[in-house]
């Protein structure tokens, strides 16, 4: 996940929860003009929940600028055929491709 504050004189601060478990030790405070990266390596499913909660001293809501998800596939294809998951295909914001990978992704 990538975070950057679009407002220079802003205090945006929040915590990240994955399935009701806080995943960041300290609050995320995005910086104007710079990217902050947070990496989660938890296995997700269709019932997983990723929640962003503002801290009490924040004056703006949480913001997520980009997210990378990886699909774990049961198919061992390495030639770009079915089973390699989505990404890189048609769509806006990157990704949007098709694939036949297993449900869930690596956060």
Q: Give the residue numbers spanning the domain of 92.
A: 69-107
In the chain, the number of structural domains is: 2
State whether 57 and 105 are in the same domain: no
State whether 54 and 104 are in the same domain: no
**Three-state DSSP class for 107?**
coil
State whether 57 and 102 are in the same domain: no
Question: Digits of tens for pLDDT over the chain (107 positions)?
Answer: 999 999 998 899 999 999 999 999 999 999 999 999 999 888 888 899 999 999 999 999 999 999 998 888 887 666 655 554 444 444 444 444 434 344 444 44
State whether 63 and 75 are in the same domain: no
State whether 88 and 103 are in the same domain: yes
State whether 47 and 73 are in the same domain: no
Please give the model's pTM, rounded to 2 decimal places: 0.64
State whether 64 and 76 are in the same domain: no
């Amino acid at each position: 996940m990538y975070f950057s504050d679009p407002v220079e004189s802003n205090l945006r601060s929040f915590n990240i929860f994955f399935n009701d478990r806080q995943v960041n030790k300290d609050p995320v405070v995005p910086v104007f003009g710079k990217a902050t990266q947070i990496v989660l390596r938890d296995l997700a499913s269709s019932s997983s929940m990723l929640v962003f909660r503002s801290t009490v001293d924040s004056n703006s809501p949480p913001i997520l600028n980009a997210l990378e998800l990886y699909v774990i596939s049961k198919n061992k294809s390495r030639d770009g055929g079915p089973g390699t998951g989505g990404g890189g295909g048609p769509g806006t914001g990157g990704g949007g491709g098709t694939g036949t990978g297993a449900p869930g992704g690596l956060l």
